[in-house]
Structure 1
Amino acid sequence: MLKVKSSIFKGLNLGAPLSELSDQGTLLKETTLHAFMACLPIVSLTQTCFLKLFLIGLIMYNIEVLLRNQFPHLPGLQNIVEGRYGVFKTCPTKSLQTHKDAACVHWLVYCADKTGQVSLFDSVFDSVSDDFKVQLAEIYTQKHTFKYIMQIMQQQKEFSDCGIFVTVVFTAIAFGPLSF
């Protein structure tokens, strides 16, 4: 079970598929959810999630690509849009990456320094799900066990802020002392 640092996600089962999440006690059926998402503007930079806005995967991916164009030697770029169903390549020891959690509802940043120590930056949780631990292990070691450090960072106050927090942390690390 994930420990929640912020009150935003309390009571929400983040491991459930979106079709099972409820809005004010009403279960959303998968067809209703698809109809709801189909009404959203296609050109929007954000996606609506129960009338809240959050940065969609394609925008987050493009933010990462822009930063990588500025830092061409910054290793670790993976297709983050694939989320939990993606097949990830092994990252080099020194890398920086944005990623959606295993439930595909929350953005975080992870990086590995030249010693191989992996740090996670999360604006809501102080631990990660078992599914995400397996993803990280596969990305860095191709094994199912893995050690990492959860770094302390500013906590978000709104449900939809994780994409902004991730962008700021990613940028700070890219410009920071790791000197990619």
Structure 2
Amino acid sequence: MILTPTPIAGVAIIDLEPRQDDRGFFARSFDREEFVRAGLNPHVEQANISFNHRAGTLRGMHFQVAPHPESKLIRCTRGAIVDTIVDMRWGSPTRLQHVSVELTADNRRALFVPAYFAHGYQTLVDETEVTYMVSGAYAPGAERGLRHDDPALGLSWPLPVADASTKDLSWPLLESWSPQELAAVSGDTT
């Protein structure tokens, strides 16, 4: 594995180092010790799969707040996505900045998403499947979200949004969040 840090601390892009022969290749896609050495939280409690019928489908921007934050390792196993994350950490010098990475079945790349980052993606082709390794269980009361089109975030998506859930389209704009709500996102109640 090759773990490449991004300009936002704690976020890493993970590429495979395949060992090839006549049969194909073998590669590690996760190594707890390498993640620890890179300063990433390698704990995995849950694994999820998301299947999407149409190109342009948008899922996100989701995250969980304290006391149920979760980190994620995202990989596209069929098709292609643009995966985007937003730093929601209170006091972070990169707060509200984002990283976008193209993850495809062909490039076999993954993205490590730390806790307190909003996560979402848009499918680039029909019949796309995404796997998530997650550090914590889903906690509905701790779920929060950002609008994919919130002007305060400046996110751009490669395709028009063809499909999104009512919930994802209904998250409030950041300008309507109180300072206390913003601080509580990462467990800071001061």
TM surpasses 0.5? no
TM-score, scaled to structure 2: 0.26
| Bigger fraction of residues in helix | 1
| Bigger fraction of residues in strand | 2
